[in-house]
Chain A
Amino acid sequence: MEKFVQLVVDGLSTGSVYAALALAIVLVHSATGLINFAQGGMAVLAAYVAWVLTNQGVPLVLAILASILFSFLLGAVLERFLMRRFERGDPDTAVVVTIGLLTLVTGIAGWLWGYNNQQFPSLFPLDTVSVLGVSVSVRSIGTTVVIVVAMVAVQALFVGTKLGLALRAVAINPQSAAYSGLPVERLLMVGWGIAAVLGAVAGALVAPQLTLTPGMLDNALVYALAAVILGGLTSPVGVVVAAWLIGVLENLAAVYVGFIGFDLKVAVPFILIFVVLIVRPQGLFGRKTVVRV
């Protein structure tokens, strides 16, 4: 029983990392209608920035905050100078652009810092605490809490502020938003920046566990995409729930299902996807979209 609870808590923590990436993907998709395959790669770049700063003697928290600021600027700049040109065109081309971006970002990280694993300091101690008689790791709880706080903050930004209202308006109908005087292009840059920030938080929190490499978040990206499919592209809440579900289920399957084990647990979300796609193609929480011709 104790093991089961530990597995669930650890699963929630990795699930939170997927959730942050998935939410970033949904954010970009709702604003610009494209899937950013480079979301993980950009987060890795941010983690490298934090790593370089800590090596220079900057305290870890400050380094992570600096990397978050860097991510915001990176997201905004990439939107303005790279994606803008492809946003209103063919979505398949735009996706290929993000794949090129992923290759480029991974290549830059590999070129600057090499492909060897680097140790990234952890924000949380490696102790365990006893909760209701079950000892669970502080890192898992901390990761989950920080990411939930980040996601709630983003949600509050969207629901409670004027900026959020403008961002939502652009996401729903960019043309009408422009007619009512909103600076649509600048808002798109902000949207990309916020998405990159979510990714950077996830990257900094998961880097100690995975150790820093240019391809660190490739697997996490796959999980995040699985969560996006399962939750439905139109439903942020659904995506987060799906990400937690995936995190917990894959942890349980790795331990309790003999054939899967730790090496094949990446297959778990895709078995889920196959089942869901057959039964409910719009995702667990998504709406069916109707297109006017």
Chain B
Amino acid sequence: MASSSKTSAPAASAPTSSAAPSSASSFRQRPWVRWGAPLLLLAGLAVLPLVGTESFNDTLARIGVFAVAVLGLNVVMGYTGQVSLGQIFFLGLGAYVTAYGVQSGWNIVLVFVLTCLIPAVAGLLVALAAARLGGLAIAMVTIALPIVGVPLAKRLSDFTGGSQGMSARFVEAPEGSGLYDDQWQLYLVLVIGGIVFLLTYFLVRGKYGRAFAIVKGNENVASSMGISPYRYKVLAFTIASLIGGVSGFLYMVVVQYTSPETMSFGHSIELLVAMVIGGAGSIVGSILGGVFYVVVPDITNAIDPSLTALLQGALLLAVLFVLPGGLVSLPRAVMRGLRRSPAGRGSAAPPTTPSSTPGSGTAAEPTETERQGSA
């Protein structure tokens, strides 16, 4: 499915699209744009922590943390099509491993490696059982992770500090750098988070990403092509758990405190809401999801805290109704709407590319934007 849309999309859109979009894409093709834009972005990110206020930096860092968590969820759900309600558990697990390691005085590199490994192994074990049942079983099993996780964290108080939680301060700006702590934290989040995003970007565009897309599209087709849906579901879930663990490490970098509440059921649902609203199956959508996760509660809490859940539910349903690709597909949807209104009268056949059919909405559109962006 992925390869067919790749070849057919340019062929179908080329004759129907007017001059403006094609000049835009050739603008994007120019070498100085192709190399300059990422460098500009990189430079912007490098300067960013230096210019903002402390609370602005803190908000940005928290966005980074949850963008990584949403990215992990995207690997299993957006790209592989397996609904997971347990992603927050792996964030919480990563945060606890980090806090325990730091309090025990272990080397921070070792702590980071364990923060990747332990959630990945936990995710592997869960997936090995859950992926045996087809369809929605992963959703039905993973919903238990936060619900079992919270009392488990309270019970294992020797490791987790019980209901009080654990705090660990281990990120301080190095001497002589002249940075404040919040700036240094933001740099750490940007670097580690950036690496995770880059690796995931290559993963989902490569061999494994195509296998994930086929498993998502049709499991029977996948197995007839020699791609075991079971194995790739387990793989995707394990990677998602690993990324969740990394986001837990970053969570401790920024928040420096974790408690059983970190992995509550409500937060798990919020993470899923953020992912869908940002854009399922999209790298940029994951960042937008992180922004949504952090910023919207801040705004609604300022208006009326009891409205937060209501607004999130209403927003999610609204997005699913009008913009199934999430916020990341908004510019594309607007462009299509603009293009269609004058052209609709002239030509009899509406200029619909294959990607604009509702069936392939969530899956195909964001991946195509990314392809165009880099091709």
Contact = CB atoms under 8 A, between A and B. Distances in A.
22 contacts: A35-B136, A99-B272, A100-B316, A103-B309, A103-B313, A103-B316, A104-B314, A106-B309, A107-B307, A111-B307, A215-B266, A225-B140, A229-B137, A264-B148, A264-B155, A266-B151, A267-B148, A269-B144, A273-B141, A277-B132, A281-B133, A293-B221
Contacts of B152: 264, 267
B306 A274 contact: no
A230 to B, nearest CB: 11
A101 interface: yes
A219 B147 CA distance: 7
A274 B269 contact: no
A106 B266 CA distance: 10
Contacts of A82: 317
A201 B218 CA distance: 38
B317 A278 contact: no
Interface in A244-293: 261, 263-264, 266-267, 269-270, 273-274, 277-278, 281-282, 291, 293
A264 B148 CA distance: 7
Given A91-B135, A96-B83, A293-B224, A263 B154 contact: yes
A278 B139 contact: no
Interface in B215-257: 218, 220-221, 224
B83 A86 contact: no
B80 to A, nearest CB: 10
A218 B265 contact: yes
The number of chain A residues touching the other chain, given as a range, is 35 or more
A2 interface: no
Contacts of A221: 143
Interface in B311-327: 311-314, 316-317, 320-321, 324
B220 A274 contact: no
Contact of B133 (A219, A226, A229, A269): A229
Contact of B140 (A105, A214, A229, A267): A229
Contacts of B151: 263-264, 266-267
A293 B220 contact: yes
A150 interface: no
Nearest to A271: B148
B109 interface: no
Contact of A103 (B273, B321, B359): B273
A185 interface: no
Contacts of A85: 321
Please list the 8 inter-chain residue pairs (A to B) with the smallest Cβ-Cβ separation, ordered nearest first.
Answer: A104-B313, A107-B310, A107-B309, A103-B313, A100-B316, A225-B140, A263-B151, A293-B220
A100 B273 contact: yes
A122 B357 CA distance: 52
A266 B83 contact: no
Given A103-B309, A111-B310, A92 B321 contact: no
Contacts of B312: 103, 107
Interface of B: 77, 81-83, 85, 129-130, 132-133, 135-137, 139-141, 143-144, 147-148, 151-152, 154-155, 218, 220-221, 224, 265-266, 269, 272-273, 276, 306-314, 316-317, 320-321, 324, 358-359, 362
Contact of A99 (B130, B147, B269, B324): B269
A102 B224 contact: no
A164 interface: no
Given A92-B81, A105-B313, A222-B143, A277 B130 contact: yes
A101 B317 contact: yes
A97 B317 CA distance: 6
Contact of B220 (A95, A114, A291): A291
Nearest to A115: B306
B148 A270 contact: yes
B323 to A, nearest CB: 12
A277 B265 CA distance: 24
A269 B143 CA distance: 13
A86 B320 CA distance: 9
A165 interface: no
Contact of A95 (B83, B144, B311): B83
Given A35-B136, A215-B265, A222-B147, 20 more contacts: A86-B320, A89-B359, A90-B362, A92-B81, A92-B136, A93-B324, A96-B276, A97-B317, A97-B320, A100-B320, A101-B313, A111-B306, A263-B151, A266-B151, A270-B144, A273-B129, A273-B141, A277-B130, A277-B132, A282-B133
A215 B269 CA distance: 13
Contacts of B140: 35, 225-226, 228-229
A142 interface: no
Given A103-B269, A264-B152, A278-B129, A226 B316 contact: no
Contact of A263 (B155, B273, B306): B155
A225 B147 CA distance: 13
A178 B130 CA distance: 36
A110 interface: yes
Contacts of A282: 133
Given A104-B310, A107-B310, A93 B320 contact: yes
Given A100-B320, A103-B316, A35 B129 contact: no
A75 B135 CA distance: 24
Nearest to A104: B313
A90 B82 CA distance: 12
A93 B306 contact: no
B178 to A, nearest CB: 45
A96 B272 contact: yes
Contacts of A261: 155
A108 interface: yes
A102 to B, nearest CB: 7
